[in-house]
Structures are given as structure tokens and as C-alpha cells.
Amino acid sequence: MKQTVAKLLIVTSAIVVLCILAVVISHILINGLPLVNLAYLTTDPDISWGNPVGGIRSTVWVSCYLTVIALLVAVPIGVGAAVYFTEYAKVGAFVTALRFAVESLAGVPSIVFGLFGYALFVISLGLQWSILSGGLTLACMILPTIIRTSEEALRSVPSAFREASLSLGATRWQTIWRVVVPSASPGIVTGIILGVGRAVGETAAVMLTAGMSLGFPILPTQPGRSMAVHLYTLAQEHIAYDQSYATAAVLVLVILAVDAAASLIRRRTST
């Protein structure tokens, strides 16, 4: 009897979770997709008459631009830190402190990263509201994700590979670079993709650092408005729900695609 009740509760909670997800996604897609067409994706937004018209071309571009900048910074640093933690770090106060810092960083609300990015990059370093400020802020934000998933992936590389490489006369560095990191690459790529998902969907931190201007930034020193920020302003300032649903639909599809790619890579390489 107890067994049945427990099972019922567990199954119910699973169904509830699935339902919530299905309702949210289908609600957005049903309300948003009818407005999405090629023109919507290929024209820039225009709010010069108060009522927003046009598409989201520049915001898609800004989201991609920001993500690329964030990855260029966060991937080398994050993978490097993970390699340090797994291959070099010895147990000690310094490493414990470092680890604690990474864990804490993962739990910091994004608006705080936004404020930090605003104070450091926008004001102190004089980068102003720009793609660069936004990208660097996003880099700080996704760093913990990349470090933790890479670390996990590196730890799961069998020590037999390391031993084999060392026994052939490889140095520690050659072993890490040629055997350990390539063997861990599917896991590392999964972490990077999860970071991409976070970066693309981020609103608060981007708004405070990359600005909200509707131009089409070419240089990283120019400001821009990302998809998520655009969605926020459409809903909050213009009360243009049709438009914001359409943007939301595109955003959701992009993030779903990114997550699907991550799980595909994980599945294909775990067999």
C-alpha cells in the first residue's frame, strides 16, 4: 500500500513537471509562432513611432555577437581552470578557497553580475555600454558552468590513459594536451553549450552592460540590444505582447536547439 502511494506521488510529480514545461513552451509557441516569418527574422526592429514594428534581425545578431565574445574569453579560462583543478592542484587551503569561489560564483544572481559588469567594464574600464562589456560580463557568468562541467569531464578520463601516455615518455603537459583533454572533449563541449544557453537567455546582466540601443553593432565597442533584452522591453515598455511573444518563440526555439545539441553530443559519445 505504502509502495503504491509513494509510486503514485512520484509519478504525479514527474507528470506535473512535464505539464508545466509543455504548457509554457506550447503557450509561447502558439502565441508567438504565427507572427514569425522570414521578414520578421530579416528586418531590424523599429520603435521610432512608439509602437514597435519590424523584426528582430539586429537583436539576433547582438545575441550571437555577445555569446561569441563571452565564449572566446570564458572557454580558455574555464577549461584552463578545470585542467588546473583536476591535473595540477594539490589539496590545500588555496585550492579549497578557489573551489569555494567557483561554487559561489555559480550561485550569484545574474543581476549582480550585471551590476558588477556595469561598475567594472562599463564605468571603471571605460568600455561603456558595448558588446565588449556585455560579452565580458556574460563570460564571468558562464565561467562556473564551464569550469564545473569540464572538471567533471576531465575527472572521468580513466587514469589508465594518463599512465599509458606517461609510460611512453610523454611529459605531463603532453599527456594533458594530447590525451586527457581530447578524451574529455565531449563533456567539455556539453558544458560550453550549456553556457551558450545561459548566455543567450540572459537579460538583466546584458541590459546593464551592453545597453538597449537598437543599432546594428559592427564593432565590439558599440552597444546593442539582445533578443532577451528586446523581449523584456517589448513586454514591459511597449506593452506589445504579440511582438514579445514572437521574440520569445524564437528565443525558446534557439535555446531548445542548443540544449538538444548538448544532449545529442552527450548521447553520441557515451555509447
Partner 1 sequence: MSERLTDSHPSELQKAKIEVVDLSFYYSNVQALKSVNLAIFERSVTALIGPSGCGKSTFLRTINRMNDIIPMTKVTGHVRLDGQDIYAPGVDVVELRKRVGMVFQKPNPFPMSIYDNVAYGPRIHGVRKKSTLDEIVERSLTLAALWDEVKDRLRSSALELSGGQQQRLCIARALAVEPEVLLMDEPCSALDPIATARIEDLIQELKKQFTIVIVTHNLHQAGRVSDFTAFFLAGELVESGPTEVIFERPSDKRTEDYVTGRFG
One-letter identity of residue 78: G
- Cβ 183 to partner 1 shortest distance, Å: 6
Nearest to residue 57, comparing CAs of 81, 34, 37, 71? 37
Contact 47, 238 (CB under 8 A): yes
Is 165 near partner 1 (CB under 8 A)? yes
- Cβ 85 to partner 1 shortest distance, Å: 16
- Cβ 102 to partner 1 shortest distance, Å: 23
- Cβ 176 to partner 1 shortest distance, Å: 12
- For the window 143-162, what string marks contact with partner 1 as x by the rule CB under 8 A? ---------------x-xxx
Copy the grid coordinates of residue 89.
592542484
- For the window 83-102, what string marks contact with partner 1 as x by the rule CB under 8 A? -------x------------
Residue closer to partner 1 (CB basis): 46 or 163:
163
Alpha carbon distance 55, 243 (integer Å)? 9
Is 170 near partner 1 (CB under 8 A)? yes
- Cβ 127 to partner 1 shortest distance, Å: 42
> What spatial distance separates the first Cα and last Cα of the chain, rounded to whole Å?
39
Alpha carbon distance 271, 267 (integer Å)? 7
Alpha carbon distance 12, 9 (integer Å)? 5
Is 168 near partner 1 (CB under 8 A)? yes
Q: In 126-271, at which residue ranges do the beta strands (DSSP E only) sit? A: none
Member of 33, 35, 47, 166 binding partner 1 (CB under 8 A): 166
Nearest to residue 238, comparing CAs of 214, 205, 263? 214
- Cβ 246 to partner 1 shortest distance, Å: 44
Contact 77, 70 (CB under 8 A): no
Is 169 near partner 1 (CB under 8 A)? yes
Question: Using CB under 8 A as the criterion, which residues of the chain lie in contact with partner 1 when the complex forms?
Answer: 90, 158, 160-171, 174, 178-179, 182-183
